[in-house]
Structure 1
């Protein structure tokens, strides 16, 4: 069941639309060229988690694409409308709103027009509980760019969350075809980057000092909203923080590795390229509790 609400200046709280019938023009540049941006966030019992962080990142992506998008207040109202409609439909169907995936999308609009196309989409969130508990197998895949490409070639839009996700989806298909569940991208000069839909986080303890680390953002990775929330909570709980650069051997030497995202949250990595990684159920639970409290 999908709820769809378009941002429309004639409808201050958003314009609900039937997701079961066509809504986009065939020459919308988001369809024909993937020219647009998006965000995905989790809502629990109709309350969105970290909406400000996602709206900030949406604005950052828009700036990189030189894309005019509706103001923050319009997004906040449309999100509220969509979640209320979803809760109403879910209450009729299942008795509660539960966990929902909220997607914010903006395209450059119909070719030749001046206005973007923007909408909020709400669906039931996929159940990732089994992965969060049991973990996943991962392959390292070369992204084809070196770690300095973001600064040298800003037109590549590295670090923006664009609709051009064909490469990310191809990486996931490749990993699954080769016996893994997910992937971690590396740069052509050997640095750890990110997952196709997630941020990489690792934990290690040295001489009694516990540290969480994630790859450096200047290497052209997307700023992780859930990773950022986890790091703030972990720092308050006494953890040290680190921001790369990281190489694959850092993953194998860690006490634990996770893929972190807004919908799945923290998913432990149990093996990389068939090589088993250390895993602590207690540590996994501790970090999951920190992330849940922060969000």
Structure 2
């Protein structure tokens, strides 16, 4: 079974003409131009989907978010059907792996051509068993912006999943420098936001809560699935503007992402947190089995 699968979109933007929506390419062969704006300026967007036994998860939600992110960058609207076809084909090639992931990359293309580029790369997932069962330790980092800045500063592209991920990667390195596994951003005025590559989920009694997307955070596909799971369990769900001290009274807290799924937070800045083992196991079982 292949360890890496790559499909290049023939015409990634809506309205393009192509005999075939994609072509498979040897992932070991150089592909991207050195003057592609996705490389030189991070001028593009991406998505990462989980794959379970050859079936891509939450495809509609990820393609909708790819389209929203593209619009925020004034990129041409992606051809969602072409991308869907490529995602399905790449995921199918990974059917021999219990868990895998597929990454969609859509850039402005080679400077001066006006032609965007796009590709879909699939690979087996790392083993996230420890994070899902034993939990992760996090540090809280100031993002440097007030909680109400998103509406006033649209050029900062808050809420878009762009290729400009240097800040997110720097936050992850800072977390590791502090001897922990991950980070959690707060606004400069003390409101909860998101992780560098994840959404925050909080359990308070029979409620599940997540920070509001009005704060300029990325709308999470896995978080949305967690809310559907909770509703099926008779719980209420809510998007809210949450001060940092909510973490202290919460019954349990998780970081959610498409590949790691639900990682319970077991320590925040050196303070141990309780893990809800039963709810975590049930939530991860639901997320791993989803095909929507």
User: Same fold, TM exceeding 0.5?
Assistant: yes
Q: Give the Cα–Cα distance (whole angstroms) in 2 for the partners of residues 278 and 67 of structure 1.
A: 44
Runs (5+) with no aligned partner, structure 1? 88-95
Distance 1:47 1:66, change over 3 A: same
**2:200–2:211 Cα contact (<8 Å) kept:** yes
Aligned CA distance change for structure 1 residues 36 and 259 (closer, same or farther; 3 Å) = same
Q: Which secondary structure state, in structure 2, belongs to the residue aligned with residue 228 of structure 1?
A: helix
Total equivalences in the alignment: 283
Cα deviation digits, residues 165-194 of structure 1 (max 9, x gap): 000000000001111100000001110000
User: Quick one: structure 1 residues 11 and 252, their matched pair in 2 at CA, closer, same or farther if it must change by over 3 Å?
Assistant: farther
CA deviations over 1:83-102 (Å, ceiling 9, x no partner): 23344xxxxxxxx2321110
- What CA RMSD, in Å, does the superposition of the two structures yield over aligned residues? 1.4
- Aligned to 1:241, which of 229, 237, 241? 237
SS at match of 1:200: strand
> Any conservation in 2 of the 1:40–1:103 contact (CA below 8 Å)?
yes
Distance 1:229 1:197 in 2: 17
Q: Decide which of 42, 47, 62 is 1:39's aligned counterpart.
A: 47
Runs of 4+ in 1 over 6 A off after TM superposition: none
Ranges in structure 2 where 5+ consecutive residues have no aligned partner: 12-17
Contact 1:12/1:77 (<8 A) preserved: no
Is this contact kept in 2: 1:69–1:116, CA < 8 A? no
- Counterpart of 2:221 (choices 210, 220, 225) is 225
Query: How far apart are the structure 2 equivalents of 1:97 and 1:276?
Result: 35
1:170 pairs with 2:167? no
Query: 1:90-136: CA deviations, max 9, x gaps?
Result: xxxxxx23211100000100000111010000011111111100001
Structure 2 CA distance for partners of 1:237 and 1:3, relative to 1, 3 Å: same
Q: TM-score, normalised by structure 1?
A: 0.92
* Correspondences of 1:34-73 after superposition (within 5 Å): 34-73=42-81
| Equivalent residue number for residue 4 of structure 1 | 6
More helix by share: 1
Q: Give the corresponding residue for 1:151.
A: 151
**Separation (CA, whole Å) in 2 of partners of 1:184 and 1:218:** 17
- The CA deviation at 1:230 is 1.0
Residue 290 of structure 1 and its aligned partner are, at CA, apart by 4.1
Judge conservation of contact 1:39–1:161 (CA < 8 Å) in 2: yes
